[in-house]
């Protein structure tokens, strides 16, 4: 009997939370008649985002140069 009551209470809580969450969405509010459909159609359209600039192409480095091993810039990228 206790299991039945606990299950019924848990099921009722799930149903209540699910209903509250569903009614918070504008589409469902329109279907239920809580909000007129005209307000959803008049929503502003966001402006398109500008495309990011491409990074410059990497410069060709000589393989085996002194800068490959002893460059001070390289040592700044090494984590302590």
Q: Is the pTM of this model over 0.85?
A: no
Q: Which of 6-20, 22-36, 43-57 has the highest mean pLDDT?
A: 6-20
Structure-model confidence comparison of residues 63 and 51, the more confident one: 51
pLDDT at 12 exceeding the cut of 90: yes
**What does the pLDDT read at residue 3?**
94
Q: How confident is the model at residue 7 (pLDDT cuts 50, 70, 90)?
A: very high
What is the C-alpha separation between 14 and 4, in angstroms, rounded? 15
Write down the domain spans for the chain.
Answer: 16-42
In terms of residues, how long is the chain?
A: 80
Whose structure tokens read 């302590």? 80
* Count of other CB atoms within 10 angstroms of residue 35: 14
Structure-model confidence comparison of residues 23 and 12, the more confident one: 12
CB 17 within 8 A of CB 26: no
């Amino acid at each position: 009997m206790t299991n039945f009551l606990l299950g019924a209470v848990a099921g009722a809580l799930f149903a209540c939370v699910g209903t509250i969450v569903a009614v918070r969405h504008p589409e469902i509010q329109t279907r239920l008649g809580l909000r007129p459909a005209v307000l959803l159609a008049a929503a502003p359209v966001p402006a398109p985002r500008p495309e990011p600039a491409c990074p410059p192409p990497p410069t060709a480095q000589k393989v085996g140069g002194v800068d490959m091993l002893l460059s001070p810039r390289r040592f700044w990228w090494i984590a302590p």
